Amino acid sequence: MEYAAKASGSSIVAQALAGFGKHHHPTLTGLAQRTSRCVQGAVNATKAYLQGDLEMAAEAQRNAARAPEPRR
């Protein structure tokens, strides 16, 4: 918001943005923290999904190696 306040070239806009930021700081901080936790949760879920795929592929390979030879 500081950049926007400076870029506006208006002291009134700068004051309004400063007031907005001060008033909503706890909400904006919580929003940023929640967003970060959501993204991290998605990363963790994706890693778990991929790990599950690797485990299933390894199990399939083990099972294929144990399969009896076909009869002739």
Spatial separation of the C-alpha atoms in residues 41 and 20, rounded to whole Å: 30
Side chain identity at residue 7, one-letter code: A
For 2, the enclosing helix (H) or strand (E) is helix 2-8
Q: How far lies 19's CA from each of 6, 30, 32, 37, 53, in Å?
A: 14, 18, 19, 27, 51
What are 18-54's pLDDT values in tens digits? 999 999 999 999 999 999 999 999 999 999 999 999 9
Structure tokens of 60?
């399939």
- In the prediction, which pLDDT does 2 show? 84
What are 5-14's pLDDT values in tens digits? 889 999 999 9
For the chain, domain boundaries: 2-66
